[in-house]
Structure 1
Amino acid sequence: MQKRVMSIMLGFAALLAVFLLLFNLPEKEEVAQDSHPIVVPDTPVDIASAESIYKSNCMACHGDEFQGAMGPALKQVGAEMSKERIYKQIVNGGGGMPGYEGRLTEEEIVNLTNWLGSFK
């Protein structure tokens, strides 16, 4: 009895796979663009505070000399990414990085963003 049920389920799965291959899967939907662009204020950087935040939150993955480890190198992140993109990465995370919204204050995130944005 079990063999018969398993055979029927396997046959159904094979038919479903053939159907999907023949009639194509639906196209991926476009990701909605953010209607409110982020503008990172150009505030003076508190280097000591930014370094402290980096050491306690970022250094384990990005390295003590920004060389990268588990995360990418940040030595020239300001030349590779805009400040707005750096800000979004810190806030939302992604690609294995956790988001820091709620862990860091807005001022800390802006300060860290401006500091990293100066790495060119």
Structure 2
Amino acid sequence: MQKWIMSGLFFFACAFAVILMFTLPGKAEVAEQNNPTMPEVQLDTASAEATVKASCITCHGDQLQGNIGPSLQKEGAQHNAEEIYNIVTKGRGQMPSFKDKLAPEEIAHVALWLAEKK
């Protein structure tokens, strides 16, 4: 009887291990999540401004002067486009991640636009 129980537990453990092997993210996927790559886009100012008005002014103010979130009026003096892209994509501090709310290209346009504000 104990052999059957032990065999069943061993089979369950092996099946669970196989399931985990195929469902857990690999090193490359984890690295991409930790350091997302900004897509190469040409700055589309109108698109960036529309995205900012739709997604950012609630916290950063209608003139990006700061409100709940910090001022973004001179964001380009503090961060380059790639850094801004990472912050918007992953979030930081009280700022939420926008990777599920905006397309990578939209975030890239906003990052390039904000990087010009010095």
Q: TM-score, normalised by structure 1?
A: 0.65
CA contact (8 A) 2:59 2:69 kept: yes
How far is 1:47 from its partner?
Answer: 1.1
Q: Which residue of 2 aligns with 1:64?
A: 62
Number of equivalenced pairs: 87
Q: Which residue of 2 aligns with 1:102?
A: 100
Q: Give, in whole Å, the separation in 2 of the partners of 1:75 and 1:42.
A: 24
- What amino acid sits opposite 1:66 in the alignment? L
Matches within 5 A, 1:5-84: 40=38, 43-84=41-82
Calculate percent identity across the aligned residue pairs: 38
How far is 1:69 from its partner?
Answer: 0.5
Larger radius of gyration: 1
- What amino acid sits opposite 2:59 in the alignment? C
Q: TM-score, normalised by structure 2?
A: 0.66
5+ unaligned residues in a row in structure 2: which ranges?
Answer: 1-30
**CA separation of 1:42 and 1:119: change in aligned 2, threshold 3 A:** farther
Q: Give, in whole Å, the separation in 2 of the partners of 1:51 and 1:78.
A: 15
How far is 1:40 from its partner?
Answer: 3.6
Q: Give, in whole Å, the separation in 2 of the partners of 1:79 and 1:42.
A: 21
How far is 1:39 from its partner?
Answer: 5.3
CA contact (8 A) 1:42 1:114 kept: no
- What amino acid sits opposite 2:112 in the alignment? N
Q: Give, in whole Å, the separation in 2 of the partners of 1:43 and 1:52.
A: 16
Q: Which residue of 1 aligns with 2:16?
A: none
Q: Give, in whole Å, the separation in 2 of the partners of 1:73 and 1:107.
A: 23
**CA separation of 1:41 and 1:118: change in aligned 2, threshold 3 A:** farther
How far is 1:43 from its partner?
Answer: 3.2
**CA separation of 1:100 and 1:39: change in aligned 2, threshold 3 A:** closer
Two-structure CA RMSD over aligned residues (Å): 2.0
- What amino acid sits opposite 2:83 in the alignment? R
